[in-house]
């Protein structure tokens, strides 16, 4: 078939434009849709480059997943070394937020991580302003952690780094398990957490998960408690744990961990407790013990080392 001069000219122009202006390839894996903890289906059209993290857990996870330039703001507690495992990193960020709606909108993020306890009205207000919000559920156990890291790494387009992070967590847990392998069931110590507010962590809490991985028995859970029950002095005496853990950090900074421990062990009421008699009352680092990120594995290691120092040298 013979082509006219005009047809040949048009074809040549199309080919030339095709070479000069290549078609932009879509981001691999995008658009993607993922259901968050509130049941909302969040759709991202492209790999997010302006991320705001308003939970400490997502702060800590994101630091291991994305380049610093992609994080536009972090949680206000991220610089507090008493509770944050990324404090030095966070100090380099000029913007720390707790929930300033107007500031969040002003920063024009393409992804915001919020805690599942945040007010629904606040979340909806951001969504009404066309801000892509993912409601994050803080892990209560290591299975939840796997889900959380997988979700976050998928959203930010860093699945390989997410898998590497989980592999590192599993390696630390496996290392602790190997060192405790000789521990018989009857040799496992019972442990009780005791907070500044007279409460403990029982079944269904992240602490309960750390205890199990550390070769210990949460005596509050064993007694049938769940959540964060208050404890009377009489209950503590009745439970009589082998080991007691106490906090190192308070959100208002008004509680002194060392004084709290001293007051407890010097209280005549508690003189007969096994934990007191055997000097197994410890202030534990809350940046590990209260972590709901990959640093939960460090909490396991801390607990196991405090309980079984000869096995975890």
The pTM (predicted TM-score) of the whole model is 0.89
Domain match, 64 and 41 both:
yes
Residue 13 in any domain: the answer is no
Residue 207 in any domain: the answer is yes
Q: Name the domain count of the chain.
A: 2
Task: List pLDDT tens digits, range 226-279.
Answer: 999 999 999 999 999 999 999 999 988 889 999 999 999 999 999 999 999 999
> Whole domain around residue 145: which residue ranges?
32-168
pLDDT at 93: 84
- Tell me, rounded to whole angstroms, the distance of Cα 254 from its chain centroid: 25
Q: Please give the share of the chain, as a percent, with pLDDT higher than 90.
A: 87
Task: List pLDDT tens digits, range 3-32.
Answer: 443 333 433 433 333 333 343 445 678 999
- For position 215, which CATH number holds? 3.40.50.1980
Domain match, 119 and 78 both:
yes
pLDDT at 88: 95
Boundary residue ending a domain (108, 135, 168): 168
Domain match, 125 and 231 both:
no
Task: List pLDDT tens digits, range 72-108.
Answer: 999 999 999 999 999 999 998 889 998 789 999 999 9
As a whole number, the mean pLDDT across the chain is 91
pLDDT at 253: 84
Segment 176-190 shows an average pLDDT of 96
pLDDT at 17: 36
């Amino acid at each position: 078939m013979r082509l006219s001069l005009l047809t040949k000219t048009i074809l040549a122009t199309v080919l030339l434009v095709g070479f000069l202006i290549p078609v932009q390839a879509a981001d691999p894996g995008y658009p993607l849709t993922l259901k968050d903890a509130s049941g909302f289906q969040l759709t991202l059209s492209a790999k997010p480059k302006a991320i705001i993290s308003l939970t400490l857990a997502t702060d800590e996870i994101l630091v291991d997943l994305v380049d610093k330039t992609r994080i536009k703001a972090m949680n206000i507690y991220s610089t507090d070394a008493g509770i944050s495992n990324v404090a030095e990193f966070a100090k380099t960020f000029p913007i720390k937020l707790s929930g300033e709606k107007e500031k969040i909108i002003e920063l024009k993020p393409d992804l915001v991580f919020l805690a599942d306890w945040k007010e629904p009205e606040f979340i909806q207000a951001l969504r009404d302003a066309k801000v892509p919000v993912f409601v994050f559920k803080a892990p209560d156990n290591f299975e939840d952690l796997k889900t959380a890291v997988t979700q976050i790494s998928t959203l930010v387009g860093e699945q390989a780094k997410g898998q590497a992070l989980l592999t590192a967590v599993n390696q630390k847990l496996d290392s602790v398990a190997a060192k405790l392998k000789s521990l018989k069931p009857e040799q496992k110590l019972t442990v009780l957490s005791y907070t500044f507010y007279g409460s403990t962590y029982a079944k269904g809490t992240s602490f309960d998960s750390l205890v199990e991985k550390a070769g210990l028995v949460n005596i509050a859970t064993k007694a049938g408690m769940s959540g964060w029950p208050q404890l009377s002095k009489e209950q503590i005496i009745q439970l009589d744990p082998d080991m007691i853990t106490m906090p190192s950090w308070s959100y208002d900074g008004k509680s002194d961990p060392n004084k709290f421990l001293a007051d407890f062990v010097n209280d005549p009421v508690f003189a007969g407790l096994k934990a007191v008699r055997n000097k197994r009352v410890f202030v534990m680092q809350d940046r590990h013990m209260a972590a709901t990120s990959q640093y939960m594995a460090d909490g396991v290691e801390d607990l196991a080392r405090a309980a079984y120092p000869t096995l975890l040298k």
